[in-house]
Structure 1
C-alpha cells in the first residue's frame, strides 16, 4: 500500500471523526466570544457605568429639592403673675409645634465648571468605549491564537496518524520478509521501535489537542458542552497596501485614539480648574408651614399657624483659596503636556511596530509558501524511496529518514501556515482593522 493510500485512509478516518463533531467556524468562534467571554462582559459593564455618568442626572444642571418636617411637644409647669397682681399656675402645660418645608437650590452660574465637567464625562464615556474595544481586540487575538493552535494540532494529528499507518505497514512487510527468510529479525525490531515512537507522538499530540480545546472553550465563555472541531481552511488577504494600512494605524489604532481622548479630557480639566476663579450665582426658594398650640392659660396666643413662600439669589466668590486652584490649573497644564508627549512617543512606537509587523507578515507568508513547495519535494522523495524500499534497493534506515523528512515537512508547513495567519491578524490589530474584517 503506497503513501497516497495511507493519506486517503487517514483523511477518511479523521473526516469521519470530525463529521461527528460540531465544527466551530472562525466567525462562530468570534460571535461566541463576543457574547460570552467574561473579560468582554466586564468591559461592557464598565461602558454602561460610563454611559450612566453622562446622564443629565449626573450633570449638575438640575436643581435640588429637599423636604424638611418636624414636630415637638413640651410639657412644663409654669407660674406667672398678671398685671393686676393675680398669680396663675399652670401644671403640665403642653406646647405643640409642627413645621414642614420644601427647599429649592439651583446653581445659575458656576464659572462654566458644570459645562466642562459634563464635557469631560462625555469624553470619558468615549474613552471607556475605546478601552472596551481594546479589550475586545485583545480577546479576539487571544481567541485566534488558541483557535489556530487547535487547527494546527488537528492537522498534526492527521500527519502523525498517517506516519503511524506507514510504520505499521512497514512492520507487516518486515514480518512477512522475516517469515519467508528474506530478512533478519532486526528489520522487525526496528519497525516495532519506530511504531512505538510514532504511537507516543500520536498520544501526546491528541492530549495536547484535548487541552488546547479546553483553553479555547474558556475563551468562548465555557459554552461548548460537547466535543468540537475547528475549521482548518485559511485564506490570506494578499491585497494589503502597506501605505493604506499605515495610514489607518496612525488614525485608527486603539491605543492612539485613547491618547487623543485623554488629551481632550486634560484640556477640559484645565478649563474646569479655571472656572474656580469666577463667582457662583445660585437661586434659592422655599415654601414653609408652621403651627403652634399651647394650652397654658399664661400663653398670649393659644394657637398660631403660618405658611409662605420665600425666594432669593445668592452669590459666592472664592477670592482666594490659599493657592490650591492655581496649583490645580498648573498641574492640569503639565498633565496635558505629558499626554501630548506620550502621543508623539506612541506615534514613533506605532511606526516601528507596524514596520516590524509588516515585515514579519511578509516573511512568514513567504516561509509558508516555501514550506508548501517543500511538501511536494518531500512527498516525491518519499514516494521514490518507498518504491526502492519495496524492491530492496533502500534499507529501513533510509526509508525511515525519508518518512521523517515528509512528516517534519508537514508539521513545519502547518506551523508556518498558522504563524503567517496570526502575523496577519497582528498587523490588522495595529492598524485598527481587526474588528472590521470577516474571518
Structure 2
C-alpha cells in the first residue's frame, strides 16, 4: 500500500500516462504552431513560501491566542490564592499624624464643690474662652487571625480554583492544537491535490497530442481533437481554482498560529503518505485513558470540590472566630514629646478577640442551602460532561476505524483506475476507442487519486481527534 500511496500522490504523473503515441502513428507533417498548444500548468507555489512542519504547528498551536488567554486566567487564579492567603498572615500597619484643633468660646454646666456646705457639690454654668492646641499621633497596630474557618476554607478554595484553571488551560491548549493540526492537514491536502491535478493536466496534454496526431494521420475525426482540447481546458480551470483554495488554507493556518496572514506557509510533508497507518487503539483503552487524563474532567471535578468548599465557608458562620490584636501609640500636644522623647507618651494595648455570630436572621442556613444546590449543579455538569466525553471517544474511535478501512479501499480503487486508463489509452491508439473513453478513465483515475489522498489525510485527522478526546495530545501537561 505504501508504494501505491507514493506513486498516486507524490509523483508528477502515474506510469500509465508516461507512454506517448507509437512512432508509426506520428504524423508526417509538422505539428501546428506552438500557440495552438496550451502551456503546461503553472507551478503550485510561484511565490516564496515559509516551510512549516507538523511538530512546529503543534507547538505553535498550543500558544494560540485562545490558549494564551486561558493561561492569563491561570495567572489571575494564582493571584487570587495570594489574596486569600494574605488575610491569614499578620497585618501590620503604621500611622502618623499632626494637626491642630481650634475651639471657640463655649458655655457648659459643671459640677463643683459647694463652698457653703463642705462635702457637697453644686452645678453651675461657666463660660470658657476660645483656645487652640496641637495634636500629634504616632502608632503601630498588629493583628493576627488565630482561627477563622471561613478564611482557611477560602484559601483552600482559591487553590482548588487555580488548579481547575490550570486543567482548563490544558484543555484549551489541546483544542487549539487540534485545530492547528486540522488546518495544517487542510493545507497539505490542497498542496498534494495540486500535484494530482497537475498530473491530470499533463495527461490531458498528452491525450490532446495523441488525438491531434491520429487526426492528422486520418485515423480519427476532428471532434476527437476538439474534445481533448476542451478537456484540457477544464482540467486547467480546476487546477487554477485549487490554487485559490491554497491561499485560503495558508491564511487560515497562519492566523491561527498568530503569524502574519500574508505569510505564504508551505506544509512540509509529515510522511503520512509514505507510511502504513498505525492501527487504532482498543476502545477500552481509549475510554480508560479519557477518564484518567482528559483535562476537562479534571477541571470539572475541581469545580465540584470548590462548590463543596463554598458550603464549608457558609457553615463557618456557626463557629467562633478568634484573633489577636496589639497596638503601640504615642500621642500628645507637643511634637518633640511624641517624636523625639521615647520615655514619654507611650501607650501599649494587647488583647484576644473572640467573635461568635449567634443569630443572623437564618442567613447562614440560606447560604448553606444555596451552596448545596451549587454542589449538585456542579455534579450534574460533571456527570453530563463525562457522558459526552465517552461518546466523543466512541465516535472518534469509530471514525478512525472507518477512515482506515476507507483508505485501504481507496488504494485498491486507485490501482483499478490505473489499469482502466492504461486499457483506454491502448484502445485509443489502436483506433478502437474514443477520446470520451480515455477522458472517463482519466477522470476515474483523478478521482481515485484524490480520494486516496483525502482518506489518507482523514486517517491522521481522525487519529489526532481521538487523541484529543482521550486527553493524549500532550499527556505531560495534564498532570
Question: What TM-score comes out, normalization by structure 1 length?
Answer: 0.86
- Which of 88, 95, 104 is the equivalent residue of 1:61? 88
Q: Distance in 2 between matches of 1:310 and 1:341?
A: 53
Q: Is 1:45 matched up with 2:72? A: yes
* 2: CA distance, partners of 1:14 / 1:272: 70
Aligned-pair distance for 1:152?
0.9
Look up the match of 1:101: 139
- Provide the residue aligned with 2:373 in structure 1: 334
Query: Could you tell me whether the CA contact under 8 Å between 1:291 and 1:305 is conserved in 2?
Result: no
Matched, 1:420 2:459: yes
Does the aligned pair in 1 maintain the 2:204–2:228 contact within 8 Å? Answer: yes
Shift of 1:172: 2.3
User: Which residue of structure 2 aligns with residue 187 of structure 1?
Assistant: 224
**Is 1:252 aligned to 2:293, yes or no?**
yes
Q: Is the 8 A contact 1:292 1:305 kept in 2?
A: no
Whole-angstrom distance in 1 between the partners of 2:56 and 2:104: 86
**Map of 2:114 onto structure 1:** none
* Distance across 1 between alignment mates of 2:62 and 2:394: 30
Alignment of 1:264-413 (within 5 A): 264-293=305-334, 306-413=345-452
- The match for 1:299 is none
Find the aligned partners of 1:388 and 1:18 in 2 and give their Cα distance: 38
Shift in alpha-carbon separation, 1:107–1:191, aligned structure 2, 3 A: same
- SS of 2:474 mapped into structure 1: helix
The number of equivalent residue pairs is: 414
* Aligned with 1:161 (options 198, 209, 214): 198
Residue in structure 2 matched with residue 203 of structure 1 by the alignment: 240
How far 1:18 moved relative to its partner?
10
Q: Does residue 139 of structure 1 match 2:167?
A: no
The structure-2 alpha-carbon separation of the partners of 1:76 and 1:53, relative to structure 1 and needing over 3 Å to count, comes to: closer
The separation in 2 between residues aligned to 1:177 and 1:240, in whole angstroms, is: 56
Aligned residue number for residue 24 of structure 1: 52
Residue in 1 aligned with 2:15? 4
- How far did 1:328 drift? 1.1
What is the 5 A alignment of 1:87-98? 94-98=132-136
Please give the alpha-carbon distance, in whole angstroms, between the structure 2 residues aligned to 1:71 and 1:115. Answer: 39
CA shift at 1:142, angstroms? 0.6
Distance 1:399 1:78, change over 3 A: closer
1:191 to 1:383, Cα distance in 2 relative to 1, 3 A: same
CA drift at 1:148: 0.8
Q: Which runs of 5+ in 2 are unaligned?
A: 1-11, 20-40, 108-127, 336-342
Deviations 1:360-402 (A, max 9, x none): 2111110111101111111111112122222222100000000
CA distance in 2, matches of 1:258, 1:402: 55
- In the alignment, does 2:162 pair up with 1:125? yes
1:333-353 residue CA offsets vs partner (Å, 9 max, x unmatched): 222223333333333333333
Q: Residues 210 and 62 of structure 1: is their aligned pair in 2 closer, same or farther, counting only changes over 3 Å?
A: same
Cα distance between partner residues in 2 of 1:196 and 1:305 = 106
- CA gap of 1:228–1:321, structure 2 versus 1, over 3 A, is same
- Change in Cα spacing, 1:18 to 1:50, as seen in structure 2 (3 Å) is farther
Residue 2 of structure 1: how far off its partner (Å): 8.4
Counterpart Cα distance in 2 of 1:190 and 1:275 = 87
How far 1:160 sits from its partner (Å)? 0.6
Q: Secondary structure at the match of 1:30?
A: helix
Partner Cα separation in structure 2 for residue 79 and residue 305 of structure 1: 31
CA distance 1:416–1:320, shift in 2 (3 Å)? same
Q: Report the alpha carbon displacement of residue 329 of structure 1 after superposing the two structures with TM.
A: 0.9
- By how many angstroms is 1:137 displaced? 0.9
State which drifts further: 244-253 or 400-409: 244-253
Taking a change above 3 Å as real, the CA distance of residues 131 and 77 of structure 1, as seen in their structure-2 partners, is closer
Decide whether the 8 Å contact of 2:254 with 2:265 is kept in 1.
Answer: no
Change over 3 Å in CA distance of 1:114–1:92 after alignment to 2: closer
**CA–CA distance in 1 between the matches of 2:317 and 2:453?**
64
Q: Indicate the SS of the match to 1:39.
A: helix
Separation in 1, partners of 2:44, 2:400: 34
